[in-house]
Structure 1
C-alpha cells in the first residue's frame, strides 16, 4: 500500500517544483501591490465613486444599469494599464527586470503574476460596483448576469495589459505615467465608459469601433441584456487581436533593449 502513495508523491513533487517560481512571483507581486496604497485605493475606489456620481446621482432610468457595465470596464483599465505599463518601466529603469532574467526564474513568471494581479483587481472592482449598483442604484441582476459581467471585466485585463506592456517596454520610468494616462483617460471617454456615446457628438460614435475598450463595453452590455452594438464574436476577436499584437511587439522590444 505504500508504493502508490510514494508514486503519487513522486509525481506531485516535480509539479510543485515547477509551480514554485510562479507562486513565489505572485506572492511577491501581491505584497508589493498591497503595500502601495497610492495605487490600490484609487484603483478600487475611483470607479465606484464615479459610478455613484454619474450612474446614481445624475443617472435617470436605465442609465444606472448601462453605466454599471461600462464602469466595470473602466475599473479594469487602471490596474491593467498602470500595473503593466508603469511598473514595467520602473522595473526596467531600476535594473530589476535584468536581475530577474539572470535568476533561475521562468521568463513568463513575473508577467503572469502581474496579469493575475490585474485580474484580481478587475474582479474586485466589478464586485464592488455590482454591490453599489444593487444597494444604491436599485439595479437588479441575475446570478448569471453578475458572473458574466465579472468575467468580461477580468477578460479586459488581457488586451489592456498587453497595451500597458507595450507602453512600458518603450518609455522610461519618468514618462510612463504620462503616457499611460494619454491612453487611459481618452479611451474611457471615446469608448463611452463615462457617459453613453449618444450624449456625445456623432463623430465619437463613428470612431468608437477603433478602440478595444468600446468592444469590451459592448460585451459587458450584452452580458446584462442591455442594447449593444456590433457582433459579439467580432468584439472577442478584436480583443484577442489586440492582446496578441501588443504582447508580441512588447516581447520583441524587450528582447532587443531589455
Structure 2
C-alpha cells in the first residue's frame, strides 16, 4: 500500500484523505444513537452540577465549564476510536482498508478529524449554556482558548481509544472504555474539585491525562493552574506513547 500511494499524485492523496474524513463524518451522522449521547451527556451533567446545584454562582459555572469541557472531549476520542476500531477489526473492514490504494494515514486522520469536530461541538454547547444560563464571566479570548484546548485535547484520548481498540473484540470495547472513562474523570477532579477528595487521590491525580487537560482548560478560562507547558508536554507524551503501542499491535495482530 505504501508503494502504491507513493506513486499517487498529491491531488489524489489529498482527495483520499478528504474522502476518508467524509466517510467518518457520514457514519457518525447516520448513527445518532452513538453520537447524541457523546454530545449530550456532558451537557446534562453540566446543567445538573454546574448550574442547578450552584444556584446561579457565575464563578462556579466558569470553573465547572472547564471541568465538564474536559469530560466532554474525552468521549469522542475514547469511543469514536476504541469502539469503531474494535468493530472494524472484527468485521474485517480494517483489513479491507489496508488492501486499498490509499495513504496509510488517511484512516487515522479521518477518525481524528471527526473526533475534533465532535469535541468542538461539545465545547460550543457547554459554552452556550455557561454564557446564557450560568452567566459565566468569560472574555472572547478565553472562549477561543477553551475551544482550542478542546480541539487539541481530544487527541490523547484518540490515541488511548486506538490502543484499547487493538486490545479487545468489538463487543468488549464499550464496557472497558466506560471503566476507563468514568473513573478517570472522577479521579482527575472533573466532577468534584480535587481539594475535596482524599489526599492520596490528590497525589495520584497527575497520572491521568484528563488531569493535565483539565489544568489547561481551567487556565484557558482564567484560573491559575501554574505553567501550562509541562501539562502540554505530558499530554504529548501520552499521545505518542499510546500511538506507538497501538501501531505496534496493529502491525503484529491487525
What's the TM-score, normalizing by structure 2?
0.93
Query: Match of 2:227?
Result: 231
- 1:87-128: CA deviations, max 9, x gaps? 100000000000001110111111100000000011111111
1:209 to partner: Cα distance: 0.8
Query: Match of 1:97?
Result: 94
The residue matched to 2:154 in structure 1 has which SS?
Answer: helix
Taking the aligned partners of 2:219 and 2:200, their CA distance within structure 1 comes to 23
1:48 to partner: Cα distance: 0.9
1:26 aligned to which of 18, 21, 35: 21
Residues 59, 203 of structure 1: CA spacing in aligned structure 2 closer, same or farther, 3 A cutoff? farther
Taking the aligned partners of 1:68 and 1:203, their CA distance within structure 2 comes to 25
Query: Match of 1:244?
Result: 240
Taking the aligned partners of 2:9 and 2:87, their CA distance within structure 1 comes to 34
**Are positions 1:47 and 2:33 aligned together?**
no
Taking the aligned partners of 1:121 and 1:140, their CA distance within structure 2 comes to 25
- 1:217-252: CA deviations, max 9, x gaps? 000111111132x53111001100000000010000
Taking the aligned partners of 1:38 and 1:18, their CA distance within structure 2 comes to 32
Gaps of 5+ in 1: 1-12
1:40 to partner: Cα distance: 1.1
CA contact (8 A) 2:76 2:119 kept: yes
1:58 aligned to which of 50, 53, 57: 53
* More divergent stretch after superposition (60-69 vs 116-125): 60-69
- 1:179-228: CA deviations, max 9, x gaps? 11111001110111112112222222111111110000000111111132
Taking the aligned partners of 1:242 and 1:118, their CA distance within structure 2 comes to 17
Higher alpha-carbon Rg: 1
Query: Match of 2:136?
Result: 139
- 1:70-96: CA deviations, max 9, x gaps? 111111011110011111000000000
What's the TM-score, normalizing by structure 1?
0.92
1:14 to partner: Cα distance: 4.0
Gaps of 5+ in 2: 1-7
